[in-house]
Amino acid sequence: MSRRSTMSGATDGSGPAPAERSFEPITDEDLARLSTLARADREDLFARKPLLGQRYAHRLLCVALCQGAALHYLHGRNGVKDFDVWTFYAEHPDGPFPYRRIGRRDFGPSKFGRMPNDIRPYVGRRVDLVARSLPEQPNAHPVEALHRYLQRSRTASAQALASKAVILLDPVSLRGVAAWPLADGRG
């Protein structure tokens, strides 16, 4: 039996039920789609919360695919249940980015199918969009800023991210770069 999930995702008896995890490879095009979804979420958030946009729209450090899907991108063995996309900002002097805010988007129809019994009836896999501000300058190098955060922070979020993988989506020049774990095996 193949480890790959079906594409149809039918639940009406006309085809196989969707698999909990898809083992389809994540491509550069998929990374670009995730980047687009993250940008649309940021634009929507900043349009609804103008003060937040004034503070953070120009303090973007990077956007990254994290956790299980990032491990799957690296090794192809983990499978994709959903996509966890994190946006990291240089912290504004007036205060941190609201850490409890989570956006959700639908990846849409794709080779990944959909996750059965998801919290919403998405057409494709769910994309969870999370953001954090880091104690960094806006011109900090994204990979170095992430290393500092993942190595030094004692928050549950940082520890959860550090336990898996982080793949950069933006800036575009670094798309697909494994920012974590470190290339030398540390982390």
Check if the beta carbon of residue 42 is closer than 8 Å to that of residue 53.
no
Instruction: Give the three-state DSSP class for 59.
Output: coil
Looking only at Cα atoms, what is the longest distance across the chain? 56
Under DSSP, the state recorded for 140 is: S
Which two structure tokens, joined as six digits, stand for 159?
């520890």
pLDDT of the chain, 187 residues: tens digit per residue: 333 333 334 334 445 556 899 999 999 999 999 999 999 999 999 999 999 999 999 999 999 999 999 999 999 999 999 999 999 999 999 999 998 889 999 999 999 998 888 878 899 999 999 999 999 999 999 999 999 999 998 899 999 999 999 999 999 999 999 999 865 454 4
Check if the beta carbon of residue 180 is closer than 8 Å to that of residue 162.
yes
What Rg, from alpha-carbon coordinates, does the chain have? 17
Per-residue pLDDT tens over the stretch 64-117: 999 999 999 999 999 999 999 999 999 999 999 998 889 999 999 999 998 888
Check if the beta carbon of residue 80 is closer than 8 Å to that of residue 167.
no
CB atoms within 10 A of CB 118: 17
Structure confidence at residue 182 (pLDDT):
64
Structure confidence at residue 105 (pLDDT):
96
Under DSSP, the state recorded for 150 is: H
